[in-house]
Amino acid sequence: MSRHLILLSVLVVASAMAVVTVRHENRLQFIELQAVEDRRNTLQTEWGRLILEKETWRMQNSIVDDAHHHLGMTAPPSGEIISLYLQKHSLQN
């Protein structure tokens, strides 16, 4: 009878250790999953920003092309470009 009790006790302890090990591994994998999902969300946000930036550049190029082809506009020679610099004035009472 005592052999059965010792064997049963060993099996219960082994089973408990297995449960603890599996739960620990599960927690580690869940933490890793959350990190990967956060990275995915970051990459999706960056992808959306890049798509918007690409569309903005495409629209700007389209405007330049329209100005050249439909309106006959061209950039002036560099000697004809005048730059104005404005000074900022602070308002003091």
Residue-level pLDDT, tens digit, the chain, 93 residues? 799 999 999 999 999 999 999 999 999 999 999 999 999 999 999 999 999 999 888 888 888 888 888 888 888 888 888 888 888 776 665
Contact of 74 with 68, CB cutoff 8 Å: yes
The Cα–Cα gap between 46 and 38 comes to 12
What are the backbone dihedrals phi and psi of residue 71, each rounded to the nearest 5 degrees, phi first? -105, -5
Could you please report the per-residue DSSP string of 74-86?
A: -PPPGGG-----P
User: What's the pTM?
Assistant: 0.53
Give the type of residue at 57: W
